[in-house]
Structure 1
Amino acid sequence: MILQTTDSTMAEAARRAPDLMGPTWICALDQTAARGRRGRPWVNPQGNFAASLVLRPEGLPAQAALRSFVAALALRDALAAVTGRPEALGLKWPNDVLLKGGKVAGILLESTGLGGRIDHLVIGIGVNLVAAPAATEVEPGAVAPVSLAAETGTTIAPEDFLNQLAPAYDRWERAFAADGFAPIRTAWLQGATRLGQTLIARTARDEITGTFTDVDSDGQLVLETAQGPRRIAAADIFF
């Protein structure tokens, strides 16, 4: 569904989720209170893409969370289709898509449920189609944001981008359902940015520096550090 305006597609999805029986995309042309990971504000001028996909997945929360990789692959495919520039795209753990080394898209997952089971999973996606935040609006040291229009000259309406993204997501979701995380992990690693290079992972408690060697079968980042391999479930990543 396409909405002219809402506070955020994530909030809209949460309100509508109990009444939705099947996978549903909610796309808004304007958001008044967009947000990203950890409640951070998400700058979303009109013309950029903002949508949330509502799912009712089977399985445990950890399995559902692996759909951030599914969404990243779908985003990469959709961006490659509209630009014709697959070589310019990269995947940054845990949930960003890069264009010429700058952040062009982000992914946010939220879920509801009881007793260790998922009721609804919402996958929020934002893409800088026409404009990117200023460098002063992002965390110091973070990857600089870029827009599709400025970097490639490609212009596309949010509704038309959804027409590329939705079938791309469906293809990868079907692969995930049929064969599990293994093929998703392999495909994601093939497009990963900075594999084999030094990264800094900042968690809620510490900062870890190491060589990015892998993403494991649980979706954790694997860094080779001076103390040995470290597996990281959640962190902000800096190059």
Structure 2
Amino acid sequence: MKDPDWPIGYARLILDEVDSTNAEGLRRAADLAGPTWIHAARQVAGRGRRGRAWSDPVGNFAASLVLRPEGAPGEVALRSFVAALALHDALSAVAPAADLALKWPNDVLLAGGKLAGILLEGTSHGARMDHLVIGIGVNLVEAPLRGEGAVAPVSLRGETGVVIASEALLAHLAAAYARREATFATEGFEPIRAAWMARAARLGQEVTARTMQGETRGIFETVDEAGQLVLATPGGRHVIPAADVFFDREAL
């Protein structure tokens, strides 16, 4: 029986357990006929950015969207903002009073704590990307112990009292993603960027961007048309393509 609320053109694969939904997406990508959500009731070896482990207690949300995108890799990577907006939409729908914000480059915050993370991975040949996998993890019922991340984790249940099954959140997320993807496909990145900025955490405040080469401290000014972080510093504007962003402790 078809779900009338499930977006047209998107398939879904529901699994009991998997090592990582992103890893499963990469394994299956070549055999999928179109955009496909892969959801697991339990993920035992989830991972985050830069190879960090992603703890996934039972009852939390783990899913990945597998796409066959068109465009240059830089343009394809902008779907991290599409996914973040869609996740914000979905969480706002199930918890309307939640204090949600988006943290560059790929986190969703709840009351200042990390509620969710997004990880993009893909396969490519030369300059052409064959498949993109967008992995999303949400702390629905339990916040894992704090690891190396810049912000302490929180859970939706712990902060708001809202309880929702992971498959129910998937339905909200899939519909929200389809809407935001349609905007990206027809109107480009600018409306996505503007909507993301309207939900950005610490805009206009001082933050620290840390890379493998060092760190830059400055005022979070904007995100540019390429999705890069722009900081205003005493030495001028710094444009940062990739980094971990840290907030001032006293401002938390």
**TM-score bracket for the superposition, by shorter chain length:** over 0.9
Tell me which residue corresponds to 2:105: 94
CA contact (8 A) 2:60 2:137 kept: yes
For 1:117 and 1:227, locate their aligned partners in 2 and report how far apart those are by CA, in whole Å.
37
Tell me which residue corresponds to 1:121: 132
* Larger strand proportion of the pair: 2
For 2:240 and 2:111, locate their aligned partners in 1 and report how far apart those are by CA, in whole Å.
26
For 1:9 and 1:171, locate their aligned partners in 2 and report how far apart those are by CA, in whole Å.
22
In the TM superposition, what whole-angstrom CA distance separates every residue of 1:147-195 from its partner, at most 9, and x where no partner exists? 0000000001111110110000000000000000000000000000000
1:222 equivalenced with 2:230 (yes/no): yes
1:130-145 to 2 correspondences below 5 Å: 130-135=141-146, 138-139=147-148, 142-145=150-153
In structure 1, stretches of 5+ residues that fail to align are: none
For 1:117 and 1:179, locate their aligned partners in 2 and report how far apart those are by CA, in whole Å.
22
Match of 2:46 among 31, 34, 42: 34
Deviation at 1:111, TM superposition (A): 1.1
* RMSD, aligned α-carbons: 0.8
Tell me which residue corresponds to 1:50: 62
Letter in 2 for 1:233: P
1:64 equivalenced with 2:76 (yes/no): yes
Secondary structure of 1:118's aligned partner: strand
For 1:158 and 1:123, locate their aligned partners in 2 and report how far apart those are by CA, in whole Å.
17
For 1:71 and 1:85, locate their aligned partners in 2 and report how far apart those are by CA, in whole Å.
21
In the TM superposition, what whole-angstrom CA distance separates every residue of 1:27-83 from its partner, at most 9, and x where no partner exists? 001112111111100000110000000000110100000000000000000000001
TM-score scaled by structure 1? 0.97
For 1:172 and 1:75, locate their aligned partners in 2 and report how far apart those are by CA, in whole Å.
10
1:210 equivalenced with 2:232 (yes/no): no
Deviation at 1:115, TM superposition (A): 2.1
Match of 1:109 among 117, 120, 143: 120
Letter in 1 for 2:145: A
Deviation at 1:230, TM superposition (A): 0.3
Secondary structure of 1:172's aligned partner: helix
For 2:193 and 2:204, locate their aligned partners in 1 and report how far apart those are by CA, in whole Å.
16
Report percent identity of matched pairs: 64
1:22 equivalenced with 2:31 (yes/no): no
For 1:117 and 1:230, locate their aligned partners in 2 and report how far apart those are by CA, in whole Å.
29
Deviation at 1:226, TM superposition (A): 1.3
Deviation at 1:84, TM superposition (A): 1.2
Runs ≥4 residues deviating over 2 A:
none
In the TM superposition, what whole-angstrom CA distance separates every residue of 1:97-131 from its partner, at most 9, and x where no partner exists? 00111110000000111120110000000000000
